[in-house]
Amino acid sequence: MWLKNASVYDVCTGKCERQDLQVEEGRIASMGGKAPSHAEAIDLDGAFLLPGFFDCHVHICVDTHAKSVANLWQGALPGTIALFAASAAKKMLLCGITTARDVGGWDYHEIAVREAINSGLIVGPRLFCAGKILSMTSASTPMWRGMYEECDGPAEVRKAARKQLAMGANFIKLLATGAVNSSKYERARSNCGPMRSQRRWRSRTTTSPTSLRMRMRCRASATPSNAAAARWSMAPSATNRSSS
């Protein structure tokens, strides 16, 4: 297979040139030559030829045109999500995206789409999927039931990660700092202010650092709304406390 009369941009000369390219097994084998007259060929008639694009952050199971993403796919008929994901994958390919990384699917429908693409049943880009996102207990999970896998502590995280790999995930995604719609208690930066002020307090103390016994405590509230909130406190020993 040859692609004839393609406009190819030469990054060395900064010019576009008409070239013929030979394609073998879906890959460009050579360029710059001339397609034989008897060879199977597609005449691009000067159309620009670009390499396939990579999109490293997609969610093919999420309908971005929905009026609200809250409780997405609630009440959807069986097969609806997979069909939507297959359509989204096809659109990506038609836009020139030949490889994409899905960083949070929905009940593994995106992995089914990946397998269908790989087997030739449907068209789409090469997909690399994370399966479900591993998240600590979060107030956001009810809105993303099909996307989040809640897990608290090392043992649960290991188990959840193994589950994603068993379902066909190519990699593991950890959601460690809260989502866009998380409460303020779930955001990592909610602890930055107190920590900064405590560091400033420490820098103003006149007592030698070696005489200070610093204690750090991290407490996590047991309530679902702010289970991820880490509250830090630092204090010198009572006998060596200095005024700031």
Convert the pLDDT of each residue in 153-168 to its tens digit: 999 999 999 999 999 9
pTM over 0.75: no
The SS3 assignment for 72 reads coil
Number of domains the chain is built from: 3
CA distances from 212 to 24, 29, 196, 209, 231 (A): 70, 68, 18, 5, 21
Same domain, 63 and 76: yes
Same domain, 191 and 175: no
Query: What is the C-alpha end-to-end distance of the chain, expressed in Å?
Result: 78
Which structural domain, as residue segments, surrounds residue 195? Answer: 186-240
- On whether residue 73 sits in a domain, the answer given is yes
Residue-wise pLDDT for 21-46, tens only, equals 999 988 889 988 888 989 899 999 99
Same domain, 236 and 174: no
Same domain, 124 and 34: no
Mean pLDDT to the nearest integer, 48-68:
90
- Asked whether the CA dihedral 27, 33, 35, 36 is positive or negative, the reply is negative
Residue-wise pLDDT for 171-224, tens only, equals 999 987 766 677 777 765 543 444 343 343 333 333 333 333 333 333 333 333
- On whether residue 152 sits in a domain, the answer given is yes
Q: How far apart are CA 89 and CA 37, in angstroms?
A: 36
Same domain, 139 and 217: no
Same domain, 168 and 191: no
Same domain, 177 and 67: yes
- On whether residue 159 sits in a domain, the answer given is yes
**Greatest CA separation found in the chain?**
94
Same domain, 76 and 137: yes
Same domain, 99 and 170: yes
What pLDDT does residue 10 have?
84
Last residue of a domain, one of 182, 198, 213: 182
Last residue of a domain, one of 155, 182, 209: 182
Same domain, 84 and 139: yes
Same domain, 73 and 160: yes
Is pLDDT above 70 for 50? yes
Is pLDDT above 50 for 242? no
- On whether residue 48 sits in a domain, the answer given is no
Which is higher by pLDDT, 180 or 106?
106
Last residue of a domain, one of 182, 199, 229: 182
Same domain, 94 and 109: yes
- On whether residue 190 sits in a domain, the answer given is yes
Average pLDDT value for the chain: 78
Give the confidence band of 69 by pLDDT, cuts at 50, 70, 90: confident
The SS3 assignment for 18 reads strand
CATH of the domain at 83: 3.20.20.140
DSSP bridge partners of 55: 100
Nearest C-alpha neighbor of 108 from the set 133, 126, 89: 133
Give the confidence band of 11 by pLDDT, cuts at 50, 70, 90: confident
CA distances from 109 to 29, 64, 79, 132, 186 (A): 35, 17, 9, 10, 28
- C-beta separation of 43 from 87 below 8 A: no
What pLDDT does residue 66 have?
83
Portion of the chain with pLDDT greater than 90, in percent: 50
